Amino acid sequence: MLVRTLSKTDSCSTVQVSAPAKVNLFLEILGRRADGFHELATVMTSVSLFDQIEFSPNESGKIQLRLSSLDSKISATEIPVDQNNLIVKTLLKLRRTYGNAQLGMDVVLNKRIPAAAGLGGASSDAAAAIVAADLAWGLDLSATDRSEVAAQIGSDVPFFLYGGTALCTGRGEQVRPVEALDGIALVIVKPVSGLSTQRVFRECVVPESPVDVDEFLDAVTCGSPERIAGCMHNRLQPVAESLEQEVLALAKAFDQTGCLGHQMSGSGTSYFGIFSDVDAAGIAAEQLGKQNPDWDVFNVQSLGQNDVIAA
Ligand code: C5P
């Protein structure tokens, strides 16, 4: 994420954050856990599609979130502004655990990452809230504090405290950054329909012989987009295809783009392809947009580790 501190008083600063989306380049299910979650091995990479969030601290004791200029394909009804929004949930948790009842925050969210899409938008916003509240409220959190709060909010949230490319295990909350080439060209398409993460996980079957992540990690560290695209994997894709026809339609559409490889991200419904360069990705993005004007098409690149800018 990109973090910019706007104004500084002794203890309070307004903080602007660009919170990136992610795609899952690899996702295997290793087992079902007693707590109802699934044991995973997933490799995620952050990409250059951002929610823009501004956090302005005050001492009103009120935490208020409003949406600004929504992208035409994101409906305001999809984005809660109460405690069901992970930004509000995270700020309340941080205030309860590390702050005091006087702490307030005005948050303005410019939502660009589609919801119910497998792109981690809500999780990325939550990670942004942790970093921003730490700065804006002067909480002085340790890296361990940040990671613990992140894991309590959601399985994907800890990943966004790092960004770049990482192997995530456990229920997804154990993050090991991986050296990887940034700037890989991708096209992401969010179809009209969305899928609930909970539903997709509930319907999936734990494989008897899970695909080992090691070969994929070798491909990532060697940095070749061809090799990465050649061994991508997402165990949740067949389930999502059976629940939502549009995922299958996207697989067929990407087959016609000349991409190096394609698959669904996370629990869907977003779908992405890897391209040899940005020009090839640009042509494909145009083609996919024309094929179905209702699809939301994003021409993006993979990002390196988090770049925190304090100005
Ligand atoms: O952790 P998070 O709240 O993002 O997870 C949403 C839902 O996805 C969970 O309630 C669970 O049903 C499912 N899930 C799972 N195993 C994981 C991660 C998520 O079953 N490792």
The DSSP call for residue 33 is: -
Q: How far is the CA of 202 from the centre of ligand 1 (A)?
A: 9
Residue 120 Cβ contacting ligand 1 at under 6 Å:
no
pLDDT band at residue 310 using 50, 70 and 90 as cut-offs: very low
Ligand 1 atom with minimal separation from the 198 CA: 12
Res 6: pLDDT: 84
The pLDDT-based confidence of 74 (bands split at 50, 70, 90) is: confident
pLDDT band at 78 (very low <50, low <70, confident <90, very high): confident
CA of 127 to the centre of ligand 1 (A): 17
181 or 286: which carries more pLDDT confidence? 286
Residue 167 three-state SS: strand
Q: What number is the average pLDDT over the span 279-308?
A: 93
* Strand bridging mode 2-8 / 307-308: parallel
pLDDT at residue 72 above 90? no
pTM metric for this prediction:
0.95
124, 155, 169, best to mutate for ligand 1 pocket (most atoms within 8 Å of CB):
155
Same fold, 2-177 and 185-305: no
- Least Cα distance to 199 among 133, 269, 254, 129 occurs for 269
Does residue 309 register a pLDDT over 60?
Answer: no
9 — pLDDT class (breaks 50, 70, 90): low
Is 109 exposed, middle or buried (CB count within 10 Å of its CB: 0-12, 13-18, 19+)?
buried
Q: For residue 311, what pLDDT is reported?
A: 42
Res 144 pLDDT > 70: yes
Integer Cα distance of 52 and 10 in angstroms: 25
The residues near 148 (Cβ < 8 Å, ≥ 6 apart) are none
Predicted local confidence at residue 268, as pLDDT: 93
Does 188 have pLDDT greater than 70? Answer: yes
172 lines ligand 1 (CB under 6 A): yes
Residues whose CB is less than 8 angstroms from the CB of residue 72 and which lie 6 or more positions away in sequence, other chains included: none
Q: Report the separation in Å between the CA atom of 198 and the middle of ligand 1, taken as the mean of its atom positions.
A: 6
> Whose CA is closest to atom 14 on ligand 1?
37
**Domains of the chain by residue range:** 2-177, 185-305
Beta bridge partners of 190: 296
Is the CB–ligand 1 distance for residue 197 below 6 Å? yes
Q: Tell me what pLDDT residue 70 has.
A: 65
Instruction: Please tell me whether residue 147 adopts helix, strand or coil conformation.
Output: helix
Give the pairing type, strands 174-178 and 2-8: unpaired
The per-residue pLDDT for 305 is 84
- What is the model's pLDDT at position 181? 80
- C-alpha 300 to ligand 1 mean position (Å): 26
Pick the CATH number of 185-305 from 1.10.260.40, 3.90.950.10, 3.30.70.890, 3.20.20.80: 3.30.70.890
Q: In the predicted model, is pLDDT for residue 289 greater than 90?
A: yes
pLDDT band at 197, cuts 50/70/90?
very high
Q: Is the pLDDT of residue 189 over 90?
A: yes
**Structure tokens given for 104:** 């307030």
pLDDT band at 307 (very low <50, low <70, confident <90, very high): low
* pLDDT average, residue stretch 36-63: 97
Amino acid at 292: N
Q: Are 193 and 269 in contact (CB under 8 A)?
A: yes
Indicate whether 308 pLDDT > 60. no
143 CA distance to ligand 1 centroid (A)?
Answer: 23
Q: Work out the mean pLDDT of the chain and round it to a whole number.
A: 94
The minimum-distance atom of ligand 1 relative to the CA of 36 is 20
Which fold would CATH assign to domain 2-177? Answer: Ribosomal Protein S5; domain 2 (3.30.230)
User: Is 130 in a helix, a strand, or coil?
Assistant: helix
Q: What is the pLDDT of residue 73?
A: 76
| Statement: residue 76 has pLDDT above 90 | no
Ligand 1 binding pocket mutation candidate from 89, 201, 204 (most atoms within 8 A of CB): 201
